[in-house]
Chains A and B, each alone.
Chain A
Amino acid sequence: MTPASTETHLIESDLADAALERLLVAAGAGEIHRSPGSDWTVSGDTAPDAIDAANAIRRAIHGIYSAQDDVTEALITSQDHLSALRALTQVNLSTLGRSEAIDDLLEQARALTASDLVAMVDDRLVHTTGGRSADSPELTAVIREATKGTDDPEPRLVGQGNAVIAPLSDQSGGIRALAFVRTNGPVYSTGDLRLVRAAVAATDMQFTLTRLHLQEIKRATFEREHQVASSLAQAVFSQPAPTLSGVEVFSHTTPASLAGGDFFAFAVVGDVLWFTVGDVAGKGLPAAMVMTRAVSAARVAFLTHDADDPAGAMRAMGIELYDYLDDVGLFITVALGTYRPSSGALHVCNAGHSPVMLVLGGTVTLIPASMPPLGVLPEPRGRTVRFDLQRNDALVLGSDGLAEQEDSGGVMLGYDRLAELCAELPEESAERLGHHILDAVETHADGIPPSDDRTLVILRAVEAIHDRDS
């Protein structure tokens, strides 16, 4: 925008002058000597008072036009300030290149405050606009003043009043202040300081938005990485349940969050089904990371021990994991065993895990732990217990997230109710029994989200001993 031309004023003034001329002629004036901006002289028989009055009117009219010019210029300046402020607030530090955006920000602040240069300062000059470098004489003294630091958040005049140091509120980015300098123009007025405050407020806002934007990017990155890591951890369950003639297998796990510390693993070695179910103390991704290592250790143990020696496999697993678990301060409850359908022989070793329930002829028996969880003792020793399964007998291995699921009143499902559920549907498949138990847990929760991972593994004997013998 440019200031309005004075041409309009002359035209308007000419109209007024023409009217005055007519009045003077009527008052007896002969020749009138006119010149814009100065008094007229009049020849002829005209009363001096009339000439004085005409000149007084001309001066008053010029005064009015001059005031109008001042008002117009002030309005234009105000519009320019508004435009500069709008431009300042629209500088987008998050999407522009940072250096380019700061250039833009400082340039707008310079325009807003009619400064010759504006600089960002921390312990030294960081960024400047207006064509001066850090070693320019105009800036050296200002930067020295700016780096002193102060608790006063208000802009302060420095030098002869031709520079202003304005501290930023948001100094998280390391920038301490903005420095405004006029090398040739007038000193900063009170009105200028208001504009400086506006520039600083806009800069603060942009810095805050940028910081929040970067935090959001970081949070989203963490979340994405968390999701990927969780998916990778849970991928250990992507393998289908094993199939072995004479036994049905149902397996299910649901982490309370994206990933969890519950696990199961199987392997068919010859005519034997190896299985393990475990629960890493703790929740979420940290527990899931430990869980994947436990699954690996279990798979190795499956392949390196005899089918009647789950305690040996458990011991090997415990020794393998002890240092790691000791370092991270966690333990793992584990049930591990083998089932040979051709003989009905079930061997189980329990390291602090529950529930481990055996359904024999419709009666539920707990298989208690014979050793503490893995990670507690450096060389754990447990016992293997043997059972002989008949048709429809089942082994149910769960995690505490089943029995400890609370309803809306805070009442847990409980181990007794879980045991009752295990004994139901004795003629149905492992799959049906599994869903029956999970549905009951879900019904008990009645919309209350799980507080812990839920895992359920069921082995159901589908071939009776006498069938095998025949």
Chain B
Amino acid sequence: MRIRTESGIGHTTVSLAGRFDAHEIGDFRKVVDLLIGPGNATLRLDLSNVVFVDSSALAEMLRSQKAAKAVGGEVILVNVSDPVRIILELTELQQVFTLESRTDPTTTTS
């Protein structure tokens, strides 16, 4: 899986591409843990190029969400690809994340 980080004033986006499964959790955590903290609590995860997620990856995304909320922020999922969207719907985890489209922001919150 490729992980790319873009940071600007007031926003940080991590873009993932490829398979996001148990083998990728370590690299993902190394990147994301550095980006979530007081004063920088909101993180966007661009999942437009993720072709597969497994339960370990979902658990890791959820862990990031809990960490962000603990410091007053959140993890926003951006341009969720179809495979990820289907898994989020099957597991009802879409209600735990804010989903956002790059061109037409819509919000679903728990």
Q: Which residues of A contact B (CB under 8 A)?
A: 279-283, 326, 329-331, 333, 351-354, 368-373, 376-377, 400, 404, 452
Complex contacts, A354 vs chain B, CB 8 Å = 90-91
Complex contacts, A283 vs chain B, CB 8 Å = 22, 56
Q: Is the CB of A400 within 8 A of B59?
A: no
| CB of B55 closer than 8 Å to a CB of A | yes
Complex contacts, B62 vs chain A, CB 8 Å = 329, 331, 376
From B19, which residue of chain A is reached at the shortest CB distance? A410
Report if A372-B91 is in contact (Cβ < 8 Å); known contacts: A279-B55, A329-B59: yes
The 4 A-B pairs at the shortest CB distance, nearest first, are namely A352-B91, A281-B59, A281-B55, A369-B92
Per the bound structure, the CA–CA distance linking A353 and B96 in Å amounts to 16
17 other A-B residue contacts (CB within 8 Å) besides A281-B55, A333-B91, A354-B90: A279-B55, A281-B56, A281-B58, A282-B55, A283-B22, A283-B56, A326-B66, A329-B60, A329-B63, A330-B59, A351-B92, A352-B90, A368-B89, A372-B92, A372-B93, A377-B110, A400-B55
Q: Is the CB of B59 within 8 A of A369?
A: no
| Count of residues in B whose CB is under 8 Å from the partner chain | 18
Q: Is the CB of B93 within 8 A of A452?
A: no
Q: Which residues of B contact A (CB under 8 A)?
A: 22, 54-56, 58-60, 62-63, 66, 89-93, 95-96, 110
Highest count of chain A CB atoms <10 Å: which of B22, B58, B62: B62
From A330, which residue of chain B is reached at the shortest CB distance? B59
Per the bound structure, the CA–CA distance linking A329 and B66 in Å amounts to 9
Q: Is the CB of B92 within 8 A of A352?
A: yes
Per the bound structure, the CA–CA distance linking A351 and B55 in Å amounts to 14
From A326, which residue of chain B is reached at the shortest CB distance? B66
Q: Is the CB of B59 within 8 A of A352?
A: no
Q: Is the CB of A372 within 8 A of B95?
A: yes
Per the bound structure, the CA–CA distance linking A376 and B66 in Å amounts to 9
Q: Is the CB of A282 within 8 A of B59?
A: yes
Q: Is the CB of B55 within 8 A of A333?
A: yes
Specify which of A326, A373, A377, A452 is in contact with B91 (CB 8 Å cutoff).
A373
Q: Can you list 26 contacts pairing A with B, beta carbon distance less than 8 Å? A: A279-B55, A280-B55, A281-B58, A282-B55, A283-B56, A326-B66, A329-B59, A330-B59, A331-B55, A331-B58, A331-B59, A333-B55, A333-B91, A352-B91, A352-B93, A354-B90, A354-B91, A368-B89, A368-B90, A369-B92, A371-B92, A376-B93, A376-B96, A377-B110, A400-B54, A452-B54
Complex contacts, A452 vs chain B, CB 8 Å = 54
Per the bound structure, the CA–CA distance linking A118 and B91 in Å amounts to 69
Complex contacts, A330 vs chain B, CB 8 Å = 59
Per the bound structure, the CA–CA distance linking A377 and B69 in Å amounts to 13
Complex contacts, B22 vs chain A, CB 8 Å = 282-283
Q: Is the CB of B56 within 8 A of A373?
A: no
A333 → B minimal CB distance (Å):
6
Complex contacts, B93 vs chain A, CB 8 Å = 352, 372-373, 376
B29 → A minimal CB distance (Å):
10
